[in-house]
């Protein structure tokens, strides 16, 4: 069955307990602020405006991305539609479902892109070939 792009990602707004001492953003997993239990966290920094990262889809992993510093853009693509989301606030998250093709790019020099995932790292669940991704999406659509 075909899944529409709008049902495959979501912009999230996290609670910001800012006061005169500064800001504190809280993200609780397991269905509270994230729709999954966090199994993995990684972050990307030192990429610049010429770099395109990602370029893959995941068979199982769901992700939430946050630019905790600086900004970047994320292009999400389900094989038929695509959309670009700019991440530019530490309290803004981007939820990505499994089987979404993604590209991260246009990193500001101070960008730190924090990523939380529902799964441990497993290279076998990464689809890194766009034509293969289109084939799998087509098979899913026909089911």
Contact (CB, 8 A) for 107 and 31: no
Rule CB under 6 A: is residue 17 a binding residue for ligand TYD?
no
From 9-17, 38-46, 83-91, 135-143, span contacting ligand TYD (CB under 6 A): 38-46
Size of the site for ligand TYD (CB under 6 A): 7
Which residue is it, tokens 């069955």?
1
d(CA 133, CA 91): 31
The yes or no reply on residue 44 touching ligand TYD (CB under 6 A) is yes
Catalytic site includes residue 56: yes
Cβ proximity to ligand TYD: between 1 and 124 the closer is 124
Smallest distance from ligand TYD to CB 115, Å: 7
| By the rule CB under 6 A, 121 interacts with ligand TYD | yes
Phi and psi for 41 in degrees, rounded to 5?
A: -130, 135
Nearer to ligand TYD, 17 or 121 (CB): 121
Q: 136: which 2 tokens?
A: 């799998």
- Which residues have a Cβ under 8 Å from the Cβ of 142 and sit 6 or more positions away? none
Catalytic annotation, residues: 56
């Amino acid at each position: 069955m075909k899944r529409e792009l709008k049902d495959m990602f979501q912009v999230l707004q996290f609670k910001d307990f800012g006061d005169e001492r500064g800001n504190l953003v809280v993200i609780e997993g397991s269905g509270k602020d994230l729709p999954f239990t966090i199994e993995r966290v990684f972050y990307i920094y030192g990429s610049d405006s010429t770099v395109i990262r990602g370029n893959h889809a995941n068979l199982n992993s769901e992700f939430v991305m946050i630019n905790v510093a600086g900004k970047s853009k994320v292009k999400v693509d389900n094989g038929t539609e695509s959309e670009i989301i700019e991440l530019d606030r530490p309290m803004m998250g981007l939820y990505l479902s499994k089987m979404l093709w993604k590209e991260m790019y246009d990193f500001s020099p101070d960008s730190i892109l924090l990523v939380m995932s529902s799964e441990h790292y497993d290279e076998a669940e990464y689809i890194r070939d766009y034509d293969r991704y289109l084939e799998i999406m087509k098979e899913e659509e026909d089911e």
